[in-house]
Homo-oligomer: A and B are copies of this chain.
Amino acid sequence: MSETKLTTRERILAAALELFSERGYFNTAVPDIVKASGVSTGSIYHHFKDKEGVARALFSDLLAQMDDKLAHIDANNEGAEAQCRAVVALLFQMASEQPRVMAFMLSARHREFMPNEPPICSSRPFNKMRELVASGIEEGVVRSGDPMVLSAMLFGGPLRMISLHLDGILERPLAEYLDESWQSAWRAVAV
C-alpha cells in the first residue's frame, strides 16, 4: 500500500473514483470526498475548479490510461483480428480487476454531470475500436459494410457481458466467458 506516497491531487481523484463509481456522482457530496481522501475542502477547491472539475479530471485521466493500453495492443499484435480480440480481452480483464473504473467509464451518464463533455462513444478509445474494424475490412478478414455498424456488432455483445458482470448478474467470473463471447462476436463480422 503506497497510498501514503500519493500526491494530494491523486488522493482526491482516488477517493472520487471510489465514491462516484460506488454511489454515483450526485450521491457523492464534497464532504464525502473530504472524509474518504483525508484532504480538506480547501485543498480540493485549490486543485480543482469545482466538483465537476474533479469528475472531468478523473474521466480524462482514465480515458488517457485506456488510450495507452489500446496503443500498446496495437503495437503488440499482428492483424486486425488479433488486435480486436486483444481489445476484448483487455476490457474483460479491466472489468474483472477494476470494476469501479469500468463502471465509471462505461455506465455512468457523464453528460448529466459534465454537460460539455462529448459522449464517451466519440472518445479516442472508441474511435480506435472503430478503426480496428475498418482495417479488418481492408485486410479482408471482416466483411465489408458500415464500420460503425460492424464495430457496434463486434464489441456490443462483449460490452453487454461486461454490463451484466458489473450488475452482478453473471454466475461465473467474467474471464470464463471470454472465449465463448469472442467467438460469437467475431462470427457477427467475420467474412
Are B152 and A157 neighbours in the complex by a CB distance under 8 Å?
yes
Chain A window 153-185, contacts with chain B (Cβ cutoff 8 Å), 1 for yes, 0 for no: 111111111011001111000000100110011
How long is the Cα–Cα vector from A157 to B186 in the complex, in angstroms?
12
Number of copies: 2
Closest chain B residue to A112 by CB distance?
Answer: B24
Give how many A residues have a beta carbon under 8 Å from the other chain's beta carbons: 42
Other-chain residue from B27, B112, B122, B188 in contact with A153 (beta carbon distance below 8 A): B188
Closest chain B residue to A160 by CB distance?
Answer: B156
Chain A window 5-46, contacts with chain B (Cβ cutoff 8 Å), 1 for yes, 0 for no: 000000000000000000111110000000000000000000
Q: A189 — which chain B residues lie within 8 A by C-beta? A: 184, 187
CB distance from A24 to the nearest CB of B (A): 4
CB distance from A26 to the nearest CB of B (A): 4
Q: Is A121 an interface residue (CB 8 A)?
A: yes
Other-chain residue from B109, B146, B155, B170 in contact with A177 (beta carbon distance below 8 A): B146
Q: A156-B157, A156-B158 are in contact. List 7 more A-B contacts (CB 8 A).
A: A107-B109, A149-B180, A149-B181, A152-B164, A153-B160, A153-B185, A157-B157
> 21 A-B residue contacts at CB 8 Å?
A26-B112, A27-B112, A121-B163, A121-B164, A122-B167, A145-B184, A146-B177, A148-B169, A152-B161, A153-B181, A153-B184, A154-B157, A156-B157, A156-B158, A156-B160, A157-B157, A157-B188, A159-B160, A184-B188, A184-B189, A187-B189
